[in-house]
A = this chain, B = another copy of it.
């Protein structure tokens, strides 16, 4: 249970190096091989990976730093990443920062200490500390979800998606619209989606838009929606920055007997599976989170192998028209 390569070498009656060679697929005679096999099986010997890594000076581990695990996007992305990584012989080490920015920085250094080969950071906000850390640790890092010129980045095209949603809502005849977003500190979700939406709005003179902010949780959205819905001048459509927020808005509407889409149109962002199951189906933008995870994995592997990688990759999205938006004449 607690034996080393020396122990089993002694039992078999060979040198440590022979056992090591056996373990690493080096040349060993058939007789010796069989003996070693047997003894390893009998003793239940398990190599100490620290000692291995200490010599090898690297691991086959890739670190993922995520702000949270309990979100659709995060879990999908991580799953795709994990799949791809394993197929290439890498192991994924996930660090959950619980939306704490300074923990991201710590995690960066932590992972470096553990001689992780590469790191994928699910970015929300990029600070100077991030950039400094990335530079200091000297191992490949990819930002997923946000971009920065100095770091390899993979992003979803949030601006374009926001623009599409905006155009769609306007095409449907809505002129009094509420945009329920999240903090602009989140560059992609908070800012880019809104900016894209705003661009569409600016192209339509008559549109009147009020902007509101919500937290990410459904319960926060229910509350934020209440303020909008109980106002005197209720909008005909609420554009939400995430599907979760849209779900909260739908709930708040339902609690007031407001029918969707007849009395109120709603859109989301994300394309969570559940948005297709509910009634009415939520019109939203679907991101390929799983694919994003896969791609990030492939790129980090290339980087580890010192192969070239595009410094910025923009991922596709899909507009999903369902039943939550009505025509307004």
Chain A interface residues (CB < 8 Å from chain B): 1-2, 44, 46-51, 53-54, 68-72, 74-76, 78-79, 82-83, 91-96, 98, 109-110, 112-115, 136-138, 218, 222, 247-248, 250-251, 254, 273-274, 276-279
Contact = CB atoms under 8 A, between A and B. Distances in A.
How many copies the complex holds: the figure is 2
Contact of A137 (B46, B70, B79, B92): B46
B44 A136 contact: yes
B70 A76 contact: yes
Residue of A48, A72, A110, A222 contacting most chain B CB atoms (<10 Å): A48
A218 to B, nearest CB: 6
A80 to B, nearest CB: 9
Interface of A is mostly: helix
A50 B53 CA distance: 7
A113 B46 contact: yes
A242 to B, nearest CB: 13
Given A44-B136, A69-B69, A75-B75, A49 B274 contact: no
Contacts of A70: 72, 75-76, 78-79
A137 B46 CA distance: 8
A247 B278 CA distance: 8
B112 A218 contact: no
A305 to B, nearest CB: 19
A115 B250 contact: no
Contacts of A76: 70
A22 B107 CA distance: 22
Contact of A98 (B83, B137, B218): B83
A82 B54 contact: no
25 contacts: A1-B136, A1-B138, A46-B112, A47-B113, A48-B113, A50-B50, A50-B54, A50-B115, A51-B54, A69-B75, A70-B75, A70-B76, A71-B75, A74-B75, A79-B96, A79-B98, A82-B96, A83-B98, A93-B93, A218-B274, A248-B277, A250-B279, A251-B276, A251-B279, A278-B279
A41 to B, nearest CB: 11
Given A49-B113, A92-B96, A112-B46, A274 B254 contact: no
A290 to B, nearest CB: 9
